[in-house]
Amino acid sequence: MSDKYQLHVTTSKSTTDSEEADERIVYMDDLEKRKEAYGICGECKEPGTGWKWCQPCNAKRFKNNFKNWTSGNKDIDEFIQQSQLNAIHYYRCLEWIPFEKFQNITYIAEGGFGKVYSAKLPEGVIDYWDIENQKWHRYELNKYALKSLNDSSDISSDFLKEIKSHLQIHLLDVVQCFGITQDPNTKDYMMVLKYIPGENLRNCISKSKLYIDYGLKIRALKAIASGLLAIHNAGFVHKDFHSGNILSIYAPRISDLGMCQPANKRAVEEEGTYGVLPYMAPEVLRGHQYTKAADIYSFGIIMNELLSEEIPYNDIPHDEYLSIKICKGLRPKISNGVPKFLVDIMIKCWDAEIVNRPTTKQLYQMLNKWDDEIEKGESSEICLQVKECDEIGKKKFDARSSKNKSKTIQTHPQAIYTSRLLNFKNLPEQVNSSDLSSFQFNSDNNYAAQSTLANPSNELDLNEISQDEEDNIE
């Protein structure tokens, strides 16, 4: 539902990662609820639209200031202006931030279509209008992330439409966008994002020096599913969902929404699709459009990467042959010691038949239910599986640590984990493998493989979640 009708509001504002916001829905035409949630605007005396925010009053002051700044690009100017005019709270408001205001700019990494830097911004970003002092009150984060967009000096309006998703989705599990700036040397535009400390999920898994237990893994998957649910509820699909676009493992955030494509207007129109091959659903590889179900497939691959602690297909080329094998039912290895209930839902996520994959809502509900069970320490089948598999996993981890062996595996030189154009012709129709061993369950003490293979018809009931839980997740 759009903001014309409702607001997902924050009743206790937080500027730190450690504090959680209390969110609930306030309908725009319910003046009493808005008044209760936000109070009265000190200027127009009408109920606010957000935390210390009045959309009509702020829209006027933003409009009066349009003449005082420009990005140098008409499309970007209009993009930022529209965000300011329509902003019903501070986190829907973009700014043009001159590059010279940033300090301590440090290179972090490079992706398929740009580079990422960290930076300080002493001035901070817009928080609310200070009526008493007649100026914007700003707050400063410790760091900001600058995401450069390759060859974007001639940025396309279609690309800007895609990154509007940053404005229309606000949840703790999705990275927030504050504005746009421009590198004066390359002339590439850069998105100003919330900086999330630490490595991406892929690196967290490979570099961890501590055993990652299944309780933590399930909490991480629940947070990722929560972010994906927010994206899907807003009417979007991610299109480039992989472990490199998930930041941290202890408090995961989804990044790079809608950025799986070149930014410039002159990009050659080619048939094919952009993405990271191991995470792409077979129907997408075959040329079909991205759907929510394609994101679910990607979630399944990410899920196995976290649970099995193996980067998918790291030892083979990411080429047309791999695409053919995926369409014929090949899936990544499932490590020994993964709990059966997680194996079951993972296999459903990467089912070749779209209709067999769970919805994002079902995924979140199941992960939330399992997390609650583990947190309470109930003597349930779920808790028993987790305890048994943690014992297996801890022994493997300790054995590897005692021999000073690293989890890091040498990847094949043609294994590519950044987004790129893929254009494979005449791929076979996607099917599920008729042989469960194609999932490559590993050998000794294989709890997951034994329990799954022993009862291949075992289906996880996606409808077992109570109606009350469904009604509480919008």
Taking the model in full, what pTM does it have? 0.77
Mean pLDDT along residues 440-466: 42
- Of 194, 212, 233, which one is at a domain's C-terminal end? 194
Quick check: is 407 in a domain? no
> How crowded is the C-beta side of 273, counted as CA atoms within 13 Å?
21
For 161-172, what is each residue's pLDDT tens digit? 656 655 566 666
Q: What is the pLDDT of residue 5?
A: 35
pLDDT category at 418 given cuts 50, 70, 90 is confident
- Greatest mean pLDDT among 79-93, 122-136, 143-157, 460-474 lies in 122-136
- Cα–Cα distance, 50 to 21 (Å, whole number): 13
Q: In angstroms, how far apart are the furthest CA atoms of the chain?
A: 71
Query: Looking at the structure, do residues 256 and 142 belong to the same domain, yes or no?
Result: no
Flag whether pLDDT at 366 surpasses 90.
yes
Quick check: is 465 in a domain? no
- Of 173, 194, 215, which one is at a domain's C-terminal end? 194
pLDDT category at 415 given cuts 50, 70, 90 is very high
Which of 296-299's residues contact partners 24+ apart within 8 Å by CB, and which partners?
296/349, 296/357, 296/358, 296/359, 296/360, 296/363, 297/349, 297/350, 297/357, 298/238, 298/241, 298/242, 299/224, 299/225, 299/228, 299/241, 299/349, 299/363
- Cα–Cα distance, 147 to 156 (Å, whole number): 17
Q: Return left, alpha or beta for 181; rule: phi > 0 is left, psi -120 to 50 is alpha, else beta.
A: beta
Query: Looking at the structure, do residues 112 and 182 belong to the same domain, yes or no?
Result: yes
Mean pLDDT along residues 418-435: 86
In this predicted model, which residue has the larger pLDDT, 262 or 129?
129
Query: Looking at the structure, do residues 101 and 249 belong to the same domain, yes or no?
Result: no
Strand 253-254, strand 273-275: pairing = unpaired
Query: Looking at the structure, do residues 257 and 327 belong to the same domain, yes or no?
Result: yes
Quick check: is 77 in a domain? no
pLDDT category at 403 given cuts 50, 70, 90 is low
Quick check: is 15 in a domain? no
pLDDT category at 193 given cuts 50, 70, 90 is confident
Query: Looking at the structure, do residues 206 and 277 belong to the same domain, yes or no?
Result: yes
- Per DSSP, the residues of 139-183 read E--S-EEEEE-TT-TTB-HHHHHHHTHHHH---TTB--EEEEEE-
Query: Looking at the structure, do residues 282 and 211 belong to the same domain, yes or no?
Result: yes
Domain count, the chain: 2
pLDDT category at 220 given cuts 50, 70, 90 is very high
The overall average pLDDT reported for the chain is 80
183, 233 in Cβ contact below 8 A?
no
- Cα–Cα distance, 39 to 413 (Å, whole number): 59
Flag whether pLDDT at 360 surpasses 80.
yes
Give me the domain span that covers residue 384: 201-262+273-400+414-439
Name the residue among 15, 463, 446, 473 with its Cα closest to residue 222: 473
Quick check: is 219 in a domain? yes
Q: What is the CATH number of the domain that holds 340?
A: 1.10.510.10
- Cα–Cα distance, 455 to 448 (Å, whole number): 11
Query: Looking at the structure, do residues 279 and 356 belong to the same domain, yes or no?
Result: yes
Quick check: is 352 in a domain? yes
Query: Looking at the structure, do residues 206 and 154 belong to the same domain, yes or no?
Result: no
Q: What is the pLDDT of residue 410?
A: 76
- Per DSSP, the residues of 217-239 read HHHHHHHHHHHHHHHHHTT---S
Query: Looking at the structure, do residues 213 and 183 belong to the same domain, yes or no?
Result: no
Mean pLDDT along residues 102-131: 89
pLDDT category at 459 given cuts 50, 70, 90 is very low
For 292-331, what is each residue's pLDDT tens digit? 999 999 999 999 999 999 999 999 999 999 999 999 999 9
Name the residue among 222, 318, 310 with its Cα closest to residue 275: 318
Query: Looking at the structure, do residues 241 and 339 belong to the same domain, yes or no?
Result: yes
Mean pLDDT along residues 340-355: 95
Query: Looking at the structure, do residues 172 and 205 belong to the same domain, yes or no?
Result: no
333 by DSSP, 3-state: which?
coil
Quick check: is 346 in a domain? yes
Quick check: is 472 in a domain? no
- Cα–Cα distance, 140 to 120 (Å, whole number): 9
- Of 194, 214, 240, which one is at a domain's C-terminal end? 194
Q: What is the pLDDT of residue 338?
A: 93
Name the residue among 357, 355, 276 with its Cα closest to residue 323: 276
Mean pLDDT along residues 379-385: 88
Query: Looking at the structure, do residues 154 and 114 belong to the same domain, yes or no?
Result: yes
